[in-house]
Every structure is written in structure tokens, then in C-alpha cells.
Amino acid sequence: MSPTSETAREGRRLVIVESPAKAKTIKGYLGPGYVVEASVGHIRDLPGTAAEVPDGYTGEVRRLGIDVEHDFEPVYVVNADKKAQVAKLKSLLKDADELFLATDEDREGEAIAWHLQEVLRPKVPVHRMVFHEITKDAIQAAVNNPRELNKRLVDAQETRRILDRLYGYEVSPVLWKKVMPKLSAGRVQSVATRLVVERERERMAFRSASYWDLTAVFSSATATEGDPGTFGARLSSVDGRRVAAGRDFDSLGRLKAGSAQVLHLDEEAARALAAGLAGADFRVRSVESKPYRRSPYAPFRTTTMQQEAGRKLGFGAKRAMDVAQKLYENGFITYMRTDSTTLSETAVNAARAQVEQLYGREYLPDAPRVYTGKVKNAQEAHEAIRPSGDRFRTPAETGLRGDEFRLYELIWMRTVASQMKDAVGQSVTVKVGGTATDARTATTRDVEFSATGKIITFHGFLKAYVEGRDDPDAELDDRERRLPPVAEGDALGAEEINPDGHATKPPARFTEASLIKDLEDREIGRPSTYAAIIDTIVARRYVFKKGTALVPSFLALAVVRLLEEHFGRLVDYDFTAKMENDLDGIARGEGASVPWLRRFYYGEAAQGDVGPSAADAGNGDGDHLGGLKELVTDLGAIDAREISSFPLGDSGIVLRVGRYGPYVEKGEQRADVPDELAPDELTVELAEELLAKPSGVRELGTDPVSGNEIVAKDGRYGPYFTEVLPEGTPKTGKNAVKPRTQSLLSTMSLDTVTLEDALKVFGLPRIVGADPEGVEISAQNGRYGPYLKKGTDSRSLENEEQMFTVTLEEALAIYATPKARGRAAAKPPLKELGTDPVSERPVVVKDGRFGAYVTDGETNATLRREDSVEEITPERGYELLAEKRAKGPVKKTAKKAPAKKATAKKAPAKKAATAKKAPAKKAAATKATADGAAATGSAAAKAAVKKATVKKTAAKTVAAEAGTAKKAATVQASAAE
């Protein structure tokens, strides 16, 4: 951008933000004289692999990226995929007279600003520019009122980063050795997994209790027009004893202590009681009326927004944050990572003006409502999440569509409702009494029914917004239950009296919304990172989704057991919350980073250190008084087999978590456990069923040619034939011999296949003959079925048997027929889900080339591993489609250069490969960081080599999109957890 003559005299200002989208929006507000450029998230970080550590570092520093012996000095390296961007920023800085660091106004943003200053080393004045909304007024006010960099926030963020690197890189290798390779541990990741596992343990230990009561429908003769003539009631007491309800039973299905005066009705007693009430007279015994009042909910902060987006819109936490990120960057809402419920005076005035405009003055309270954040250590400099600007745009005025419209509407409604009057009304409780006669004993029993009602006389804020509930059966705040106007002593008629059976239910599994709420209530982690944490534990296969419920895998059971028994303090909820408080104390200047890290890592406080005892850094069971370093040094006490073994009662059956997945074992019997099975569903009966199935290995006989034994096995990818090579056969090296292996045909069953079947399949591909030109034709079995192959020309066969029977004449006839073009007739849908709320098109589940998928005719989304055609819900289908839409269209791979130009293109291709390889390394490092784990770079390196032909410009585009605003920061933030 070339400055005008006027701005040239005033100087040229470089403004650095985090994302290209934000840069584009802000540039429009600042105008000439300002160059706005994005850092695209973090520009440097701790090294992801030892290869990234600069020369000169050795030993532990090379492994950890931190010099633990010299005040925990971090080794920061510029991310390989950011070197070009850093060079661009340095070039722009040369022509600038001032530098404005305009990253987000939280600890993560402060740290990014500090890293920028450290790497760019500006020789011009540097200003920290902060704002909580991207509007013209807010941006210009931020430019005119900069502040200094807050080093305390930087120190706190650095301490988090170092802590999580130490935690992940020291604890994760223990999991590799004792449970399974490539696992990860993290400060909040592991605690979140433990919460999900503990809930599943409660479900596994749960025993259901049955109980009965009566429901009745009474009619009133006093009902007037407009009032209900009947109302429902439930039996509450018999002979003065309260009838047992679900809350009176413990998790083992027994009445709780202190429930001796509670009457537990079984089915027989309930039916006898109902029969004894036939023809009985009923009267109103009491009517109790109380005023009802409900105040508005506070405006959204990060976690409440995530929870409500989950309940009302079906968004996962990550999806909610991604949509909110776009709304913020495009100037529609204020900053979406906040712990505060505070609204600025500008926002309050805007909300009150909209209340009066849309609902009328009678809905506007006399004085503005003030909300104070209840979250401990909330950064009150932030506002709550609200529509941006000094006048709120209604959803219709925004021009938004799809997910962005729906989330903006939610935020707008919540903010406006927060400045409205209370909802008021009356709640009523009616007691109805009668006498039951037992015909068998000629005795009578006094019974009492209870009914509750609620009438809202003034809806107040409920006109604009009603909060959702995690429990789908819970009653919402705006739900009315009207009762007829009855008075004490009124006679009632009984239209129905029915026995009603119930069974206690196990505690509900966590959803994303309820897990976030629990983490926040326990003060564990930071709200801004919860979405990344949940994403991580799902990606690491510790947790999978069943509908909206979070279900722990058997792998998670083994990992949590190891951490609880040998690193108890590290996954203790109170200790983790205390660590969070300590880190916040460092941000407030109440503590020092290095002494705190020394106590955590080495245990005993160094001379002169003041702080928690060594036990605070050790294991909660008292076995260790040292810090983390001592905990991971001696692993001899950890029995890997015991950690991964879970007996199923006294049945003699043991569930084991093996390298290739969970299985059950009883003596010599062994059977794999389905990956999608929830732990509380693995009963002794189911285990017996699994063990009773064929073992998965059948000896078929000896190959008459090779003399090797042939067996049929059930593998991870289906049943197959293989030969058993003699002992001593080399398995590695240049003389290695691999056994013949072939999948069973689709018409074959593992229970019935024979040696002849195996030898028949081993004979594939079968040479059919040669065409008149001498080109060989063979019959083969492929991924998509049987086919003929002649050179590069292939033709499908009608069935598998044809592979063994097709003659040369038949093959030539097939090739003489023109090859069919176009698609085959579409298969009918497997399931219909309904109408997508975004595209408003019918959504169905179809069977595709790569498995089942959902589609609305425009967007296709493959079902995940945890999804099944039978159990997938419409909401889950809509969520998969929304996630696919959010990713945007798949980018086409650049076409390869013609073969004759390969030599000329060689150098640029190598350069492109290098450019692409760096981001792949960064991806591996970021992923390990997000888990707080010791990452391996090999997989990322392979992925980078595989994609080496992608052009450098495409790599830059992908990097820019992946780094929009806080996406890169979110991944980095997850490392802080």
C-alpha cells in the first residue's frame, strides 16, 4: 500500500494481527498510511522434534527443547512454515516508522506479540494495540490508545507452555512403554479423559432398581371457560408414608440410608392399590400458591456459548468456536475467548435500545442490569460475547447465512434478553386425597396425589430467549402447566388411575457441553482451550461419540488406570485446579515462574524458594515425594500387563487392552472386542458370546506343492487365507520370505472354507490366455470386485466364480464389447434422516465406494468410525454435513508436468517439496503440543514427502486459511492444557 502525501509526512505504520481475515477487515478501517499484515498465528515455538533443535544443544535439551538445568530456559525456533512470512514481515518493517502489535488481547495473544517483537527486533517504536471487537470505532480507538506489552502475561503463558512440554514429553513415553506406542498425556487432556472414564465406571457399577407408583387424571366441576377441565397428578404418599422415587435409590439399586419411612411399591402392590381406588371419592386437601420469578441469564462467555450452541444448534465445541471465530474476524461479534459476563456501557445501551424497539418499554427494567463474572481469575478486561458495535444488528440485517446466522442469532438473543425484565407468575401445588379399599383384607388405606402447575403472567426476558437443558427430559423455563381453579375441599372425579412402573437409570454420559461445564466448575484448564482438549481426546481414540454422548474407549480405561496408580497427583482434580490458580498468580505478579517450575519438576524446593511443599509436585498416594522427574525415572513398579487387564467379575474372563485393540481372554480362549463397544456394555454374557464364536484361526491342511500348512484367519480387515512358513524361514533382510496371503471371497465363510478353497484363491491372478496381438489377459480379484486385465485395460466380471471359469473366447468377447461409460444406476438410500436446517434439502444415508456417507444432494460427508447406519440420528447427520461445509471445497492437486519436461522442472519441484515439508513438520509438532505429548515427526515427514509435488503457492494458501485468527492459536492454546 502506498501512503498518500499527507500520511507520508506522518510516517508509515505496520500493524501485525494474527489472521489474514482479520487483517483484511482491519485494513479497511485504517486506510492509507497503514500496512496491515498477518503473522498467521504463532511464528515460533518450542521445537517439535530433535531435528529442529539448533546445533550446539545436546542431551535433555535436545529431547525436551528446554534447558531444565539452567532455569528452564526454552529453546524457541521459528516454525518452518512461517519463515517466509517472517521474512515478509521483516521486509515490511524496514519501511515502517512505527510497529503496532495487534494480536488478541489474551495471554496467548500477548505471547504471540512478544515472540513477534523478539524475532523481528524492530528499531522503531513498538506499541501494543488491543481491541475486543473489530469495528471502525474500536480499531481507531485502539490505534490512538496503545499500551506497553504485558510481560507478566507473557511469563504466565511461557510457564504454561514449558509446564505442558515437560508434562507431555515426560509422561507420554511411559504410556508408550507400558500401554501402547504413540499415546499422549497432557495436563488437562488426561484429567478430562479421567472424568469421562470415571463416569463410565459409575455406569459399569450401576445396578438398576424398579419401583412403582400411580398416575391419575382428575376432573374438576369448577373449571370455567379457558381453564383446563382435567389435570394429571402422581401418587405422593400412602398412609402418611412418602412413596419411593428414583432419588431414594443408590447406584446399587438399594434404598438409601435414612429412607426407612419411604414406601417402596412393587408392581403387585401398585396394581392392588389402583384396584382399591376404583370408585373412590377424591377431594382437594390443600392448594399452595407461591409467586414465581425468573431473572435473565447472563450474557455469553466462552463456555456458556459452547454449551448452548451444543444444546440448541447441535454444534460441537470446536465447531462453535470456528463459527464464532469467523463472526469475530468479520466484525459481527466481540472477542469470543472470554471468561467475563461484563457488558460495556455501550453494549448495555445498545441492548436496552433494542429491547424498547422490539418488545416495548414495558419489557425494559428501570435500571441497566449489571453482571459480574463468577469465573475465578476471569480476565475482566474482556467483555462478554455480544454483537459488536454501538448499535446491534438484528440477525436479518447481517446478511449472514447457515451456521454463522444461527450462532449470531443465538448471541444476539442472549445479549438482548440479558437487559430485559424478569419473568413473573405463580406456581401452584395441589394435594388430592382419597381412600383405597383392599377387598382381600377389608382394610382401607389413605392415599394422596400431588400436582404442580405454573402460570407465567409476564414473560419478560423469556419473550426473547430461553436457555436449553443438558437433560432432554428437563422442563424449560418458559413451559407453563395450567391447573383448573380448585379450592380446598372441592370434590374431584377420577377419570383414570393407572399403575406406573419405573427403573432407575445410570448417570448420564458426558456430552461436550456437560464436560465443558464440569471442567469449568472444577476450575480445571482455561475455557478458551476446552474445544481443543475435547478434539484431542477424540482424535487420540481415548473417547468416541455415540450420538452426542462421549464414551471412553477401553484404551482410555488402561491409560487412566496407569495415571491414577502411578501419577495420581498429576490427574488429581484439585491439584490440577491448583496448578491453574498458580499460573494465574504468575500472570498477576504474585509468583515467579522458575521457582514454581523447579518445584514441579524436581520436587524439593531449592534454597530460598518459597512455595508449596515437595509433596505438591509428587504423587498423591505418598509413595513419591519428588517431582515429575523422579516419577518417570523408575518405572519398574509398573506392571504393563496388570495395568491393561480388567477381570469381568468372578467369571474368569479378563478384558485386556492389547497393542492392536481390546480383547477378552479365558484360559486359552481369546476373542476381539468390537472397537465401537462401550465399556459398560461388555457384560459377562456378551464376553461368553464373543468367546463362543470361532476362534478366528482354522487349520485347513497342507499345500501339496509347498508342503506348508494353510490356515484361515479372521483379521482386522476381514477373514483371509495364509500359509504357515517353517521355523527358521528368514523374515527380514534381502532373503526374507513372505507367506502367501489372500482374502476370502465374499461368497466364502470362515466357518466352512476348505483347503481346496484356499488353493483356488491362491491361484489368483489366473492367466486366461493372450489376445491375437499376444497381450496377456488375466482374471483377478480387486478392491471393487472381480475383473479382467489386459495391459492397462480392465473390465469387470459379473461374479467371483467367473475368475475361475472364464475362457479366452469369453474374455475376448468381453473386450470386443465397447467399454461402458458413465455412472451406474444410483443405489437406493440406506436411511432417510429428514431436512437439513441449513441447506433445507432432504438428507439421506447412502452406500458409497468408500463406505456409508450422508448427503443432501450438494454436500457429502463420510460416516466416522463411531457412527453406524443403524444408529445415526438426524442431528448427527446434519452435524457431519456442517463440518464438511466448514472445510470448504477440496482443493485440486496441481497437475504434473509432462514427462519430457521433468528434467527442466526438477529444481522448482524440489523447492516446492521443501516448502511443503516444513508445514507438515509443523503439523506434527502442533499435534503433539496440543496433547502435551512427545510427538513423533516420522509420520509428518512421510506425509510431507508424499505431498512434495504441491506448489509452494498452494502451501501458502492452506497455511493462511488454517491460521485464520485464532485457529493456530487455539491449537497452541491446547498445549497450555
Distance of CA 85 to the CA centre of its chain: 31
CB 414, CB 297: distance < 8 Å: yes
> Whole-angstrom Cα distance, residue 417 to residue 354?
10
- Determine how β-strand 661-666 pairs with β-strand 718-724: unpaired
Q: How far apart are the first and last CA of the chain?
A: 40
Q: Which of 286, 287, 270 is nearest to 445 (CA)?
A: 270
Whether 169 is a known active-site residue: answer: no
CB 49, CB 77: distance < 8 Å: no
> Whole-angstrom Cα distance, residue 384 to residue 298?
9
CB 136, CB 564: distance < 8 Å: no
Distance of CA 945 to the CA centre of its chain: 30
The single-letter code of the amino acid at 548 is T
CA neighbours closer than 13 Å in the CB half-sphere of residue 29:
20
Distance of CA 164 to the CA centre of its chain: 20
CB 441, CB 279: distance < 8 Å: no
Q: Which of 123, 77, 78, 95 is nearest to 37 (CA)?
A: 95
In 434-550, which residue ranges form alpha helices assigned H by DSSP? 512-521, 530-539
Give buried/exposed letters for 702-739 (b at 16+ CB in 10 A, else e).
ebeeeebbbbbbbeeeebbbbbebeeeeeeeeeeeeee
DSSP element (H, E) containing 432: strand 423-438
- Determine how β-strand 13-17 pairs with β-strand 98-101: parallel
- Give the sheet arrangement for strand 645-647, strand by strand: 645-647, 654-658, 661-666, 669-672
The single-letter code of the amino acid at 824 is A
> Whole-angstrom Cα distance, residue 519 to residue 524?
5
> Whole-angstrom Cα distance, residue 306 to residue 182?
30
What count of other Cβ atoms lies within 10 Å of the Cβ of residue 700? Answer: 18
> Whole-angstrom Cα distance, residue 433 to residue 430?
10
Q: Which of 96, 109, 82 is nearest to 338 (CA)?
A: 109
Residue with cell 377424591: 282
CB 217, CB 231: distance < 8 Å: yes
What count of other Cβ atoms lies within 10 Å of the Cβ of residue 902? Answer: 11
Q: Which of 242, 268, 270 is nearest to 256 (CA)?
A: 242
SS3 label, residue 871:
coil
CA neighbours closer than 13 Å in the CB half-sphere of residue 750:
18
Residue with cell 511464528: 43
CB 790, CB 771: distance < 8 Å: yes
Q: Which of 883, 973, 966, 887 is nearest to 926 (CA)?
A: 973
> Whole-angstrom Cα distance, residue 702 to residue 81?
57
CB 830, CB 847: distance < 8 Å: yes
- Pick the catalytic residue from 211, 335, 465, 601: 335
Distance of CA 969 to the CA centre of its chain: 17
What count of other Cβ atoms lies within 10 Å of the Cβ of residue 154? Answer: 20
| Greatest distance between any 2 Cα atoms in the chain | 107
- Give catalytic residues, as residue numbers: 335
